[in-house]
Structure 1
Amino acid sequence: MTISSSADAQSVPIPELPLAKPARFRTGRTIAALFIREMSTTYGRNAAGYVWAVLEPVAGIALMSIIFSIGFRSPSIGTNFPLFYASGLLPFLAYMSVSNKVAQSVRFSRQLIIYPAVTFIDAIIARFMLNAVTEILAFMILLTGIIIAFDVSVILDVPAMALGMFLALWVALGVGTLNCYLLATYPSWERTWAILNRPLFIVSCIFFIYDDIPHPYQEWLWYNPLVHCVGIVRSGVYATYDASYASAGYVIAFGAVPMALGLVFLHRNHRDIINNT
């Protein structure tokens, strides 16, 4: 481009300004940078730290599977208790771990969210992605290890197992997003939430199946979304198990409600939370 003056016939060149990159690419780069920061801060700067982060829950679940298999020799489905136990415990632990990590997202990235290019949503997405990938890897490694170690003959329904894990992670994202606001606003909520979560280990159908629960407790437990997640995962592990009671729509709605509330509250108050944390 050039401009001309009546007093000066010479043209003065005007430098071309670089085009601004679309916001969606800027958001993607921000999430990727936060993802790498999460990994290096949490697991160290070498690959061994992340490998251990995956193997640690695998080793813990394997040990608990062996211990419980001694006391419970006849699982409700199949003949191998470690496989039955892991198929229920893995989606439950995925929910617990990811929801707790997501709930700390704003606290963890507080010093970065003060910059305009970084939002609280970027921090939540990056932390969710890293921990979700970790839990999925642990799920795959442990189930494969049990099947090989015990020479279990199974016909796996991979889409059903993937759906069950996705639903567990979805609920974790929703609950974690709401707790991200509640933990920062009400410090006593952290202890209260920990107490409320303790019975979930018993009432999420980890050691038994939903079909064995007597009435009226069966109807009560139906409202626990983790019961649906565990049932769907087990229907993928055991070809003969029909989790007809499980509703993916209910679980999606259950996770969407706290997620929407958490995003609204964080949008309105995240600056105050950052300044007061």
Structure 2
Amino acid sequence: MKPCAQREREPVTTPIQHSTLRRSSAAIGALIIREMSSNYGKSPGGYIWAVLEPVAGITLMTLMFSFIFRQPALGTHFALFYASGMLPFTMYRDLSSKIGKSLAFSEKLLSYPAVTFMDAILARLILNLLTQILIVIVIIGGIILLENVRVTIDFKWVFLSFFAITVISCALGVINAVLFAKFPIWEQLWGILNRPMFLLSTIFYLFESAPEPFQSLLWFNPLVHVVGLMRRGLYSTYDATFVSLPYIFGPALVLLAFGLLMLRQHQNRD
């Protein structure tokens, strides 16, 4: 008789791993509920206002620019063009800020063995990422329906833009979470350094329309590439050939790995 073929061994998951996973999931869920209660209140109206606030802001800015300019730099609708630049920037600003302040927000809970630094960071990332995606869906969907905009969305580029924003925001947020804890003054300095990003992220204009040498300097801003990805997904005639995926993800992943290493060292010292 031929020897029976040996079955491939299935990976064994120990009870300790199951227990750790359940404990971490429970901690993340509790932190998400706590943040929703703290930031949005106990009523659903608080969360709804968090979604409607950027809608009101984009509506106001659209009206202002429609009076100043006759036609947007891309397409024919001011609201869609402005949203295609503002929404990626808003997502970056919100995610990086919330992740950067995650340790301070959950400082008292981190004294419990059941709650880790990663739990605090993942809880804020999950909640705020889902909130920002909902905001994008509401605003873009509302613009298309209310203004009767004919647009062919290439979801590949839109999702790639979301992923790029998440990686960049996590990288900066994790590093800042450690730096904010070690050097409180860095939070104020970071806020000052980050303010020009609103004007340097091609929200109101196209990268191709910027004059030299300003255009060459803008290229090094990763948010310019992210906005380019978003507009490429929303405008079928826009190629955004300047976008470099290696430049978006390469430095961001290196910073994220370095930030996680710093976070681990900080956790071990505490």
* Secondary structure at 2:108 match in 1: helix
Q: Does 1:38 align with 2:35?
A: yes
The CA distance in 1 between the partners of 2:114 and 2:106, in whole Å, is 13
- CA drift of 1:269 comes to 2.1
Moved more, 91-100 or 56-65: 56-65
- Cα deviation per residue 1:67-108 (whole Å; 9 max; x = unaligned)? 222212321111111110110010001101111111110011
Q: Does structure 1 residue 236 correspond to structure 2 residue 233? A: yes
Out of 183, 190, 194, the position equivalent to 1:197 is: 194
1:172 to 156, 169, 173: 169
Partner of 1:208: 205
Structure 1: give runs of 5+ residues left out of the alignment.
Answer: 1-18
Tell me the CA shift for residue 149 of structure 1.
1.8
Corresponding residue of 1:252 = 249
Runs of 4+ in 1 over 6 A off after TM superposition: none
Q: Secondary structure at the match of 2:199?
A: helix
Which structure 2 residues correspond to residues 213-224 of structure 1 after superposition, within 5 A?
213-224=210-221
Query: In the alignment, what sits opposite 2:133?
Result: 136
**Residue 125 (1) aligns with residue 122 (2):** yes
Distance 1:69 1:76 in 2: 12
Percent of counterpart pairs with the same letter?
45
Q: Does 1:23 align with 2:17?
A: no
Provide Cα deviations, 1:197-244, integer angstroms capped at 9, x if missing partner: 111111111111111123332222111110010000000110000012
**Deviation per CA, 1:25-61, whole angstroms, max 9, x where unpaired?**
3222221221122112211222222111111122222
CA distance in 1, matches of 2:19, 2:244: 39
Q: Deviations over 1:139-193 (max 9, x none)?
A: 1111111122221111111221121122112211111111111112112111211
Q: Which residue of 2 aligns with 1:7?
A: none
What is the aligned length? 255
1:264 paired residue number: 261
Q: Secondary structure at the match of 1:29?
A: helix
Q: C-alpha distance in 2, partners of 1:116/1:225?
A: 37
SS at 1:214's partner residue?
coil
Partner residue, 2:224: 227
Amino acid at match of 2:246: G
Q: Which residue number corresponds to residue 182 of structure 1?
A: 179
Q: How does 1:18-167 map to 2 (within 5 A)?
A: 21-167=18-164
Once the 2 structures are TM-superposed, how far is the Cα of residue 112 of structure 1 from its aligned partner?
A: 1.1
| Partners of 1:180 and 1:147 in 2: CA distance | 38
Match of residue 15 from structure 1: none
Contact 1:62 1:142 in 2 (8 A): no
The SS at the match of 1:22 is: helix
**Distance in 2 between residues matched to 1:138 and 1:45, nearest whole Å:** 20
Larger radius of gyration: 1
RMSD: 1.6
TM-score under structure 2 normalisation? 0.89
Return the offset for 1:271: 6.6
Distance 2:227 2:266 in 1: 35
Give the superposition deviation at 1:272.
6.1
